[in-house]
Amino acid sequence: MKFGIHTILFSETFLEKDMPILEKCKKMGFDTVEIPPFDHDNFPAKRVKAIAKELDLDINIAYGMPPEYNIISPDRNVRKSGIEFTKKLVDISNEAGAKIFGGVVYCAWGYTTGKRRSADEWKWGVESFREIAEYAQSTSPIILGIESLNRFESHFINTAADAVNFVTSIGMQNVRVLLDTFHLIREEDNIYDAIINSGSHLGYFHANESHRGVPGRGLVPWAEVFRALKNIHYDGCLTIESFDPNNENLVRMGSMWRKLADGPEQLAAEGLAFLRDMYNKIIAS
């Protein structure tokens, strides 16, 4: 199993000036770095790939779609734009040498209609993402991760079962479920069962605390999480995803209104130590 860290803990996006973050994460003991190319036109994808290779780091790419690229929109033109933009992000991910491209990549982040998910939205989402997946499959072995979100960030895919249903409806091997304990604890009846029932569809895992602070200091039942991962033989990456309180836009989107650690480095270091300890006690034992 590998352990990762999301760069939004240190920087709101990722530009040339942020390249030293990769070495910082490696020195802290992480195997994987997850990066959001929000400023995609200025994202140094080739440099990321080269430096990551030098450092022996895996790269994953994350994204939260803006409303103009919402592939579940009732507007056909918006859906079409979303498909083409997501294909561009797949190209950027490949250029960066990413193993996984995922997150809120199947609808607009923060988009809700004020109603329950409709049959039309499901149809548009499946059809649109299948086209994206077919394109991605033709370019590389990259995995596309479908992340279930809590009800306050989306009305479309809220539970692990929703994500599994979406993935199986698309029916392509390169589309997998991405689970995040921050969302699971808000939406699931039982986190252990949610992970178990995701089974072989699980392709990536965000190991976050209930408040997005240091893992181990909140309400997530970590022993159950690790037992479930062990029982489904998950051997992928566990990534910590938290936000620097100084990152104004992400803090607003993630509704983080208080300080959760003395600094990003403390959150990352203590979180990694906790997750490795749980892994050694439950999975490696």
> Are 9 and 243 spatial neighbours (Cβ–Cβ below 8 Å)?
yes
Size of the chain, expressed as the number of residues it contains: 285
Structure tokens at 121: 């939205």
**Helices 191-198, 222-231: inter-axial angle, 10-degree rounding:** 20
DSSP category for residue 19: T
| Under 8 Å between Cβ of 197 and 169 | no
Where are the extended beta strands (E) located within the chain?
A: 2-6, 32-35, 58-65, 100-108, 143-147, 175-180, 202-206, 237-240
Reply yes or no on whether 147 is catalytic: yes
Residue with structure tokens 């790419």? 61
Q: What is the DSSP secondary-structure string of 87-152?
A: HHHHHHHHHTT-SEEEEEEEEETT---SSPPPHHHHHHHHHHHHHHHHHHHHH-SPEEEEE---TT
What are the C-alpha distances in Å from 142 to residues 18, 72, 89, 243, 256? 24, 23, 12, 26, 31
Tell me which of 121, 147, 153, 270 is the catalytic residue: 147
Check 153, 188, 241, 270 and give the catalytic one. 241
Instruction: Decide: helix, strand or coil at residue 82.
Output: helix
Residue with tokens 């950027």: 92
Question: Contact, 49 vs 97, CB < 8 A?
Answer: yes
Residues forming the active site = 147, 241
